[in-house]
Structure 1
Amino acid sequence: AETSTGVRNDVEPVSHAKGDALVVADVVTSLGGIEVDIDGWGVDVAYSGTQKCL
């Protein structure tokens, strides 16, 4: 999610089409504000911080 516009990117289709690549998700503005399903989305690495939604 992007806090100023409310835009959300659908990570799951990207992760399922990744082939052998790693999927890294920036969930800084999402974690704590919307559902973040790292395993369900097929994300390999996710990172966040306390400066946004948390």
Structure 2
Amino acid sequence: VGGLKAGMGYCGAPDLEALRQARFVRISAASVAESHPHSLEVIREAPNYSVR
């Protein structure tokens, strides 16, 4: 149940019916890189996340 609730939060779906209407959208690797914050000074790297 926790994974379902997390997925609903990720999609912004308030209920199961709205989650059923969700669409997957394919994005390119360049879009993924551009969606991350950039041009920032890194103070400390996150221990649980790496940018490839």
Give TM class, smaller chain: under 0.3
The structure that is helix-richer by fraction is 2
**Structure 1 length normalisation: TM-score?**
0.18
**Structure 2 length normalisation: TM-score?**
0.18
Larger radius of gyration: 2
The structure that is strand-richer by fraction is 1
Q: Which has the higher contact order (CA 8 A, sep 6+)?
A: 1
